[in-house]
Structure 1
Amino acid sequence: MDVLSDVVTVTRTGRPRSAHVRWHAPWGQEFASVPGSAGFQVILQGSCWLLPANAEPVQLGMGDVVFLPHGSGHTLADSPESLVTAPACGPDNHELYDAYASDGVDRSGDGGPVTVVLCGAYQLAPSRTHPLLLTLPDLIRFSAHSGRHPELRSAVQLLAAELENPRLGTAAVVPALLDTLLLYILRIWFTEQPARGDTTGWAAALNDPPVTAALHAIHRDPAAPWTVAKLAAEAGLSRAPFARRFTLLTGQPPLGYLTWWRMTTAARLLRTSDAPLRSVAAQVGYTSEFAFAHAFKRMHGIAPGAYRRNN
C-alpha cells in the first residue's frame, strides 16, 4: 500500500454524499460547518461565488474544483449580494445532499442564468485523522478543465453523469467515484506543492524520495521489526541523517510514526474484523498480546477489547 491510499482508507468512514444541482439566478445556498467532514464543490456550468466564513469571496467558473478538507462553513451564490438559504438539515449536513440528489436538480431563482454544481461531502473519523490531512489549508482550488489534470476531469465527468442520469449500478459506482475524486484531489495537491530547500511538512515529505521510501516501507509491512537503521537503509541514508530528515519533514521521529501507524491500523482491524486480539497484535508487529494491549491503551485511552465492543 502507498501512503496516500492508506490515509484515505483509514480516515474515511460512513458513506460519502454528493448531488448534482442546477441553480437559476438569483440564488444562494449556505453549507454549514461540519467538523469531522470534508466537502467539495465542482462548477460544471456557468459561474458563481464562493463565500468562505472567514475569508474574501472567490469567483468560480466552469471547471473549478474547490475542496474544503476541514469541513469549513461556506456559501455558494450567483452574487455576493444574493439572499442566502440556510441549510435545512441536521448537524451532519447530509440531509442537504440527500434532498438535492433525490427530488430533481432545479433550485431557486426566476429563470436567470444557470449554474450547475456537483457538491458533496466525506465523513472523516477525527480520532483516526492522519497528520497529512491536518496540514491541508482550509480551502484548495484548481481547475479540472485546464488540461493539466485529465484524470480529475474524467472523474468529475463520470460522477456528474451518474448523478444526473442514475442507472443500474449507480448506487455502487457513485461511492467508488467519490473516493477516486478524493484521491485525485489529494494527489494533485501534494505533488504540485513547490519544492524548496526550507520546506517542511507532509507535502515536502511526500515529495522527498528517501522519506517516501521509508513511509512506503512502514505502510507496506507495519508488522516488520523496523528499527531506525532498517528504515534508513530503505531510504538509502545513514541512520542519523535519516532520523533528522524524517522528523523534520513529518513532525514525528521514525519510530514514533511507526507506533502511531501500527495502533491506527490495529484500530481499523478491530472495527472491521473479528480476528482474535493475538492475530491483530501480530498483524501490527507485536508478539505479545499484553504489550500490544498496553501500547493500544496508551494511544487510544481504552483497551483493545473494549474498543472493539464500542465500535
Structure 2
Amino acid sequence: MDVLSDAIGAMRLGRPHSSRTVLESPWEIHFEPQQGAGFHVILQGSCRLIPAVGEPILLGVGDVAFMPRELGHGIACPEDAGVTQMLCGAYGLDQARAHPLFAELPEVVHLPARVGRHPSLQGAIELLGQELDRDTPLGGDAALPALLDLLLLYLVRAWYDGRPGDTATGWAAALRDPAVAAALRGIHEEPERLWTVQSLAGHAGLSRAAFARRFTELVGSPPLAYLTWWRMTMAARLLRDTDLPLRAVAVRTGYTSEFAFARAFKREFGAAPGQYRHAPRQREPLGAAQEVGS
C-alpha cells in the first residue's frame, strides 16, 4: 500500500466520468461547485480558466488544469480564435473527509505542457483520449474508470514531484523523508496493529523523541493522532462501501472490542457506526455545467 493511493481511495464516491469537448469561439462554460474534483486537458487551441479564487489562467495546447476541490469555475475563449478541443472529467470525492495530503493541494493545479515532462501523465491522457474516441463500447465500462483513476493518481503525483526537494514542506517533504515515509507506510499497511510512538519510531529507525518531533512537524499532527484519524477514515469507508459486520470493521481498524470502536467512531463522526452506514450520502459527481455562447 502507499499513502497517495489510500488517500484517494478513502475519498472516492461513485464513478468518475470524462468527455471530449469541441467548441468554436467565442464560448464560455460555467461549472457549479460540487462534491468532487475536475480536470481539463487542452488538445487544440487555447482558453482561460477562471477559478473561484485567484486570477484567470491561460491554458494552451498540452496544458492540464486540475481542480482538487471543485469550488466552481469557468472556462472561456471570448476571442475569435477558432476551435478549442479539450478532454474534461470529474471525480466524486468526499471533501468532508479530505486526507491532509490531498487537502494540501492548491485550488488549481496547473501543469503547463513541456516536452518530456510527466511522461506517465501524458501517456494516461493519450490512452484516455483514444478510449473516448472508440467507435464501439467493447470494454469501455472497465477501461474508462480505470484510466480516469490512473489519471487522478498521476495528476496528484505530478504536483508533488514538482515541489523542489530542498524547499519542500508539509506532505511533499513528509513523503520524501525516509523515516516519516516508513512510519506512514506502516500505519497504512497495518492499521490494525497496536502501534505506539515507540514502535513507530523503531519502524522509522529513529529515537522516540526525534521521530515524534519530525513526524509532527512534517505531517501536521502527532503520530498517534494521525493513526486514529486514519483508522476512523478507513472505518468510514468500510461502513460506506461494504457489508462487513461492525465487529469485523472494529478488528480491521485496530479495536479489540466493538464497544470501544463504536465509542471512538461516535466521538469522531457524531453518529454511531450503524447510523453512519445507513445515512444517505451523495455518491456521484454532479458534473453540472452551463455553456454560454457558441
Using the size of structure 2 for normalisation, the TM-score is 0.90
**CA-based RMSD:** 1.7
Partner of 2:292: none
Aligned to 1:8: 8
* Contact residue 286 and residue 292 of structure 1 kept, 8 A: yes
The amino acid of 1:206's aligned partner reads L
**Any idea what the Cα deviations from partners look like across 1:42-95, whole Å, max 9, x if unmatched?**
00112222222343222211110101111032222223xx5xxxxxxxxxxxxx
Matched residue, 1:297: 266
Aligned match of 2:213? 244
- Other-structure match for 1:78: 77
Q: 3-state DSSP class of the match of 2:38?
A: strand
- CA pair 201-156 structure 1, distance change in 2 beyond 3 A: same
Between 1:262-271 and 1:141-150, the stretch displaced more is: 141-150
Q: Distance in 2 between the 1:288 and 1:52 partners?
A: 47
Q: Does structure 1 retain, via aligned residues, the 8 Å contact 2:46–2:59? A: yes
TM-aligned CA deviation for residue 165 of structure 1: 2.6
Mapped to 1, the partners of 2:156 and 2:53 lie a distance apart of: 23
Match for residue 136 of structure 1?
Answer: 105
Name the counterpart of 1:183: 153
Q: In the alignment, which residue of structure 2 is the partner of 1:216?
A: 185
Structure with the larger RCO, 1 or 2 (CA within 8 Å, 6+ apart): 2
Superposition deviation, residue 166 in structure 1: 4.6
Tell me the residue number matched to 1:90.
none
Q: Does the alignment pair 1:125 with 2:102?
A: no
The percentage of aligned residue pairs carrying the same residue is: 56
**8 Å CA contact retained: 1:222, 1:284:** yes
Task: Give CA-to-partner distance per residue, 1:181-215, whole Å, 9 cap, x none.
Answer: 00001111112212236x53212211211111100
Q: Secondary structure at the match of 1:292?
A: helix
1:1-311 map, 5 Å: 1-34=1-34, 36-79=35-78, 113-143=82-112, 146-167=115-136, 168-196=138-166, 199-310=168-279
Q: Residues 72, 308 of structure 1: CA spacing in aligned structure 2 closer, same or farther, 3 A cutoff?
A: closer
Cα deviation code 1:250-282 (max 9, x no counterpart): 111000000111111111111222222111111
Aligned residues: 279
Q: Give the distance between the partners of 1:11 and 1:159, measured in 2 at CA.
A: 22
TM superposition outliers: structure 1 runs of 4+ over 6 Å: none
1:145 to partner: Cα distance: 5.2
Kept in 1: contact 2:69–2:95 (CA 8 A): no
Is contact 1:210-1:235 (8 Å) kept?
A: yes
AA aligned to 1:29 is: I
Instruction: Give me the TM-score of the superposition, normalised by structure 1.
Output: 0.85
Q: For residues 127 and 47 of structure 1, what CA distance do their matches in structure 2 show? A: 34
Is this contact kept in 2: 1:145–1:153, CA < 8 A? no
**Aligned AA (1:274):** D
Distance in 2 (alpha carbons) for counterparts of 1:30 and 1:302 = 36
